[in-house]
Structure 1
């Protein structure tokens, strides 16, 4: 399992894809520093930057890039066959790759969110955003890892989920919020650091329970999918 994790981390950071992780966090922190430097009222820029950019774009997009990359690239180039021929339980393969995806996504998103939150309000808000980002990274990573095993276009479907389901339906259709990871993240951050910048639209109980369901459900589905995976490395 540790070997798979090491190979995954080395492959992830050895590809150009990792460079895609840098611009969005830098933009988030840069905007927060700029607004703070010019004494712009946090009430005016907090929600657009922290929620509109940080929680709605930076966190899910980074998780999408990493979550679909830890296994999707091996499916695309056929090297998944070499992993499947090893005497390793499919569960260990998925857990190792999911662990790397969560770790990289959480750190890359949580650190800039903490900095931006601290600049906007306080260290407590920064901490709330960072904790929420870790929870979101777990749910998003499990979901996007599963997508990489179910389809040849996981990035496209992931963007549809982020932009259409969470970006449009999640904001205007109340019933869809129960299946919106973004809403769980906002609620968790708001409960840790209550502020007018954040507007929770689902309960904390729903957020925690559904986040756990996302992680466990997608992980179990990914393990099951890998068990029945074609040795030709093909997905449907």
Structure 2
């Protein structure tokens, strides 16, 4: 499993796709620094930068780029056959890919959110955002990894989930929030360090349980889906 993880990391950072991970974190940090340096009150920019940009855009988009990249490209170009011919359980392959995706997404998202949280409020708030981002990265990564195995357009479907389900319906249709990873992250961060900048729309138990369901359920379905691939890389 460690070999698969190493190959995944090397492949991920050896592609131009890795460069796409930089703009959003830099934008979050840059906006926070600018607002803080010019003396704008955190109540006026904190929610827009931390929640509107960091949690609602940077975290899911970074997770989408990484989550669909750790396995999706191998499915598309047929090199998945080299992995499937190895004497490795499908479970180990998926878990290795998921850990890499979640780890990279968590670090890339948590660092700018921590900095923005410290600039907006306190170290405690920054740590709360980082912890919540790690939970969100795991749930998003499991979902997007699964999408890369069930469709040839995982990025498109991922964007539909982020922009339409979470971005549009999640803000106006209350029933959809139960299936919104963004809402779980906001609720967890707000519970760890309550501020006026965050307002979770689901309860803490729902946020924790549903995040686990996304993470575990997505992983199990991905393992099952990979198990349906033949050595030729086709689905049976």
TM-score (norm 2): 0.98
Residue 109 of structure 2 aligns to a residue whose secondary structure is helix
Match of 1:232 in 2: 232
Match of 1:11 in 2: 11
User: After TM superposition, what 4+ stretches of structure 1 lie above 4 angstroms from structure 2?
Assistant: none
1:75/1:234 contact within 8 Å kept = no
1:94-139 CA-to-partner distances (Å, cap 9, x unmatched) read 0000010011000000010000000001111111100000000000
Match of 1:62 in 2: 62
Task: Please list, as runs of the form range in 1=range in 2, the aligned pairs for 1:37-56 lying within 5 A after superposition.
Answer: 37-56=37-56
**Cα distance, 1:171 vs structure 2:** 0.7
Q: Distance in 2 between matches of 1:194 and 1:133?
A: 16
Match of 1:158 in 2: 158
**Cα distance, 1:11 vs structure 2:** 0.3
**Cα distance, 1:30 vs structure 2:** 0.2
Structure 1 residues not aligned, in runs of 5+: none
CA distance change for structure 1 residues 171 and 88 in 2, over 3 Å: closer, same or farther?
Answer: same
Tell me how many residue pairs correspond in the alignment. 236
Is it true that 1:184 corresponds to 2:222 in the alignment?
no
**Cα distance, 1:229 vs structure 2:** 1.4
2:183/2:201 contact within 8 Å kept = yes
Match of 2:28 in 1: 28
1:181-225 CA-to-partner distances (Å, cap 9, x unmatched) read 000000000001100000111000000000000000000000000
Residue 34 of structure 2 aligns to a residue whose secondary structure is helix
**Cα distance, 1:235 vs structure 2:** 6.1
CA RMSD of aligned residues (A): 1.0
1:71-95 CA-to-partner distances (Å, cap 9, x unmatched) read 0010111100111111110000000
